[in-house]
Amino acid sequence: MLLPTARYPSLDGRVVFVTGGGGGIGAALTRAFHRQGARVAFVDIDDEASQRLCHELEAETGRALLYRHCDIRDIAALQTVIHEVGETLGPIRTLVNNAANDDRHDWRDVSVEYWDERMSLNLRPMFFSTQAVADQMAVAGGGSIINFGSISVRLALGGLAAYVTAKAAVHGLTRSLARDLGEKDIRVNTVVPGCILTRRQLDKWISPEDELRILEHQSLKVRLAPEHVAPTVLFLAADDSAQLTGQEFPVDAGWG
């Protein structure tokens, strides 16, 4: 789906790093930044989908992307890729902490090991990717870090306590880092997607009946897709939002 979007001159040539950029919302973000003329690097664990995306966009624009296989639970590997991108493409000016996994679980069955693994995927990489990228941004004159929260925090959904806990923590992480990094002209914000109907969500969790219930809650009766999230992320990455930090930006079609 190719939606019309604003053109941001400040993103042309800017180095952007996206976690989980090979599928779902992440792929929509990778496409959107690449079409703005940004120099995009991304990590994922789905090599087939990621390589396919790279070939598609290179065929479309004639410009290559930088993809690296990386399990973001491995912090050393994640930070190594971030340093490599800085050396190869130039200082990263935009970091999009998108990757997450919202597998359902019964709270009674959660072990210490499972809990820690969920945090190692849905929360920990956001902090350590920021730690790795902050010096690059400072040297380059500033940057924008965009963390992904979740509407699940607001809705207090059951069946995924570990995920909701991690996403609630993201909101606090954003506010604290915005204060710490503001003096280096680095902005940190949270995007809060609503019920985005990715292929994975439709295959695993959301039935046709669920879709109807979702529309009842949304003020706008639209089927939210990954491409609907990208314009907000582009705006927060661009210089047009230079005075915005420590804030939350819902993309939920007016949930109520």
Taking only the tens place, the pLDDT of each residue in 28-77 is: 999 999 999 999 999 999 999 999 999 999 999 999 999 999 999 999 99
* pLDDT value for 4: 63
Q: How far is CA 122 from CA 125, 142, 232, in A?
A: 7, 25, 21
pLDDT-above-70 percentage for the chain: 97
φ/ψ of 243, rounded to 5, equals: -100, 10
Query: CB within 8 A of 248, min separation 6: which ones?
Result: 149, 171, 174, 189, 190, 191, 192
Query: CB within 8 A of 111, min separation 6: which ones?
Result: none
| For residue 187, pLDDT beyond 80 | yes
pLDDT (average), residues 76-82: 98
* pLDDT value for 159: 87
| For residue 210, pLDDT beyond 90 | no
- Average pLDDT over all residues of the chain: 94
* Higher pLDDT pick, 223 / 134: 134
pLDDT (average), residues 199-205: 72
Within 10 Å of residue 61's Cβ, how many Cβ atoms?
12
Q: How far apart are CA 172 and CA 129, in angstroms?
A: 16
* pLDDT value for 205: 64
pLDDT digits (tens, 9 = 90+) for 82-99: 999 999 999 999 999 999
* Helix, strand, coil percentages for the chain (3-state, nearest 5): 55, 15, 30
Output the pTM of the full model. Answer: 0.94
| For residue 143, pLDDT beyond 90 | yes
8 is catalytic: no
Q: Which of 8, 67, 114, 163 is catalytic?
A: 163
> And the tokens for 185?
């002209």
Element housing 145 (H / E)? strand 143-148
pLDDT (average), residues 94-120: 94
> And the tokens for 1?
């789906």
> And the tokens for 145?
């870090």
Q: How far apart are CA 180 and CA 198, in angstroms?
A: 34
Length of the chain: 256
Residue 2 DSSP one-character state: -
* pLDDT value for 212: 85
Distance of CA 65 to the CA centre of its chain: 17
pLDDT digits (tens, 9 = 90+) for 1-13: 556 679 999 999 9
Q: How far apart are CA 45 and CA 21, in angstroms?
A: 10
The CA dihedral of 125, 127, 132, 138, to the nearest 10 degrees, is: 140
CATH 3.40.50.720 fits 9-194+225-251, yes or no: yes
Helices of type H across the chain:
24-35, 47-61, 75-89, 112-122, 124-140, 151-155, 161-181, 199-204, 208-217, 230-237
* pLDDT value for 3: 62
* pLDDT value for 16: 98
| For residue 18, pLDDT beyond 60 | yes
